Amino acid sequence: VHTRAGARRCQPAAGNVRSVRNALRKLGYTLKEVERPEDIAKAERLIFPGVGAYAQAMEILQKRGYVEPLREYIQANKPFLGICLGLQLLFEGSEENGGVEGLGLVPGRVVQFDTSLGLPVPHIGWNDLSPRREDRLLKAVGDRRLYFVHSFCAQPTPQNEDWVLATSHYGTDFIAAIQKGQMYATQFHPEKSGAAGLDLLHSFLDPQNVPAHADTRSDGRTRGLAKRVIACLDVRANDAGDLVVTKGDQYDVRESGNGGEVRNLGMPVELAGRYFEEGADEVTFLNITGFRDFPLGDLPMLEVLRRASEGVFVPLTVGGGIREFTDTEGKHYSALEVASEYFRSGADKVSIGSDAVYAAEEYLRTGKADGKSAIEQISWHYGKQAVVISIDPRRVYVADPAACTHTCVKASQPGPAGEQWCWWQCTVKGGREGRNIDAVQLARAVEALGAGEILLNCIDNDGAGKGFDLELIRAVADAVTIPVIASSGAGVPSHFTEVFQHTKAAAALAAGIFHRQEVTIDSVKKHMDTNGIPARV
C-alpha cells in the first residue's frame, strides 16, 4: 500500500481484492497485487483477503508457489492481515471439502457450524465481538458490530488461546480475530463492515492512527447477530434509455397501468450511497429486465456496480439475467461467466431468479444435482454465501388442500371465494409466467443445489405497504436451514419488528418506503432495538 505521501506498501494475495482495494483507496492508500511469490517478501504490509472454498484456495496457493513465502513472511513478524478465509487458511486444516490441510501456523482445525442448533447457516450478517484482551485494532472498532459471512469457523481451544484476540457467538463461541505480534486475521470482513471496518483497516495500516471508538458495551442493547435491514433498488432502463431506480405495485412499474412511463425514483449509484450513509446493512440491485436482455450487454449496470462499490462499504448483491446465454453472433457465455463479471465489478453476492426456478424444476424431475446449473457452478466457484435465490411467488387459494399437490397452509384470511387454504406459486420473468412449483419446494430444491440465501419476495404484497406476508415467510423459513430475507410490503417500522418476532427471517428488505423517504432506516432499526430485536443501530 502506498500512502498519499508514498511511504508504505502492502500487497493482497488472493480473494475479493476489489472491495479491499476500494476500502484502502477510501483511506488514501493504493495497493499492489501479489503477482509472483517474490512479491510477498517485498511487501511492507500484506493483506490476504480469502473468499471461496478452502481446498481451492490451498490448491491455488500451492500451484503458484505462495505457501512458503507466506509462512516466511508471517513467521518474520511482518505486518499481516488475513480476512475471512485468509484467517481460516492459517490453521492446521479444515473439514471443508472433505478435509484439507492448511498453512499450519495456528493450532486448531476449522469446522462447520452445527446446523442442528436451528440457526441458519451460513452465518451471515453483523455480529458483536467479545475481546479476549486489549488491542489497538479492537479499540478502533469499539462496540460496533462487524460483517461476517461464512459456514465454517475456528473454535477457541487451550492450544490456540495465545492467538485468540476476540471471539463471537453464533450458537457456539468461535474465533472472530487472532493476533500475534504484527500478525492479525479476522473472520469478519472489515472492508464490508462500514465505518467500523474502515477504522480497523486504518489502524492496521497506520499504527499511529487509532481512531478509538467510544465503548458503550454497558448500554444494554440486544447483543449477538443483528437482524439485517436491506435497501433494494429495482433498476431498469426508462423509456429514454437511462438506467433508473424504479418501483412497482405488484411488479407493475409503469405510472398508470400499461402505456404509462416507467416510474423513476432516482439514480442507482446516488441512492445506494445514501442508503449506506443512512445505515443499510446491505444494498441489493435487481436488474428487473435482465431476464430478457443480456446482462453483459448492459454495460451501464456493470458501471453502476463499479461506481457504487467505490463508496458503499457494506455487502452488495446484484440480480437479474444470471443465466447462460448465446449472443447474436453465436458466442456462448456460461452463467458462471456472467456472475464472474458481476463479482469483478464489485458484487459480493449474485441473486438468481428465473434460472433458479428452471434448475429446481429439473432437480425435482430427475431427483439429482448434475452440477450444471448456475446455482451449482457459482456456488462451487465462489462459495454458497455468494449465491442468493430471488423467489417471486404469488398466492393461490384452494378450497381443499387434499386435492392440491403443493405445500398448502391454513390462511389467516379466507380467499375471494371463502377458501381457507393457500400455497404460493413461483413465477419467472418478473412475475409474467406462473410455474407448477411452489415456494417451499423451490426453497428446498435450491438449498440442495447449493444456494446460500433466499430473497423471498411476494408479488401480492409488493409496494402495498401493508406488511410482509408472514405466512409465506414462515412457511419458507421453516423449510430450509439457509437464511431467508423477507421482502415486499413494508410500510412502517413495526412491520420489520413483526416479521422478526413472528418468523425465522434473518433479514428484511424494503424498497418503496426508503426511496420515497417515508421511513428512515434508522427509525426501523430503533423500533427493532426498542422491541428487543438485535439491530445494528
Told to check if 361 binds ligand 1PR by CB under 6 A, we report: no
Closer to ligand 1PR by Cβ: residue 19 or 487:
487
Q: Does 351 participate in binding ligand 1PR (rule CB under 6 A)?
A: yes
Distance in Å, CB of 385 to ligand 1PR, minimum = 18
**Residue 424 C-beta: closest distance to ligand 1PR, Å:** 14
We find the least distance from the C-beta atom of residue 489 to ligand 1PR, in angstroms, to be 5
Cell numbers found for residue 171: 450458537
Which residues make Cβ contacts (< 8 Å) with residue 378, sequence separation at least 6?
322, 335, 336, 339, 350, 352, 386, 387
> CB under 6 A: which stretch of 284-292, 309-317, 399-407, 441-449 binds ligand 1PR?
284-292
- Residue 268 or residue 489: which is nearer to ligand 1PR going by CB? 489
Looking at the Cβ atoms of 495 and 536, the one nearer to ligand 1PR is 495
Active site members: 84, 189, 191, 234, 392
Is 373 one of the binding residues for ligand 1PR (CB under 6 A)?
Answer: no
Task: Classify the C-alpha dihedral 300-304-306-310 as positive or negative.
Answer: positive
> Should residue 393 be labelled a site residue for ligand 1PR when binding is judged by CB under 6 A?
no
Fill in the per-residue mask, 429 to 448: x = in contact with ligand 1PR (CB under 6 A), - = not in contact: -x------------------
Handedness of CA 112, 316, 394, 495 (dihedral sign): positive
Closer CB to ligand 1PR, 251 or 363, in the complex = 251
Q: Which helix (DSSP H) or strand (DSSP E) does residue 234 occupy?
A: strand 228-237
Q: Phi/psi at 150 (nearest 5 deg)? A: -170, 155
Asked if 49 and 191 count as a contact pair (C-beta separation under 8 A), the reply is yes
Number of helices (H), then strands (E), belonging to the chain: the values are: 17, 28
Q: Is residue 457 a known part of a binding site?
A: yes
| Buried b / exposed e along 43-80 (16+ C-beta atoms within 10 A) | bebbbbbbbbbbebbbeebeeeebbebbeebbeeebbb
* 503 to 522: interface string for ligand 1PR, x by CB under 6 A: -------xxx----------
Contact between 198 and ligand 1PR by CB under 6 A: the answer reads no
Strands 106-112 and 100-101 turn out to be unpaired
Interface characters, 245-274, with ligand 1PR (x: CB under 6 A) = --xx--x-x---------------------
Query: Which residue's entry shows cell 479491499?
Result: 20
Contact residues: ligand 1PR, CB under 6 A: 232, 234, 247-248, 251, 253, 286, 288, 290-291, 319-322, 351-355, 390, 392, 430, 457, 462-463, 487-490, 510-512
Detail the residues annotated as belonging to a binding site for L-glutamine.
84
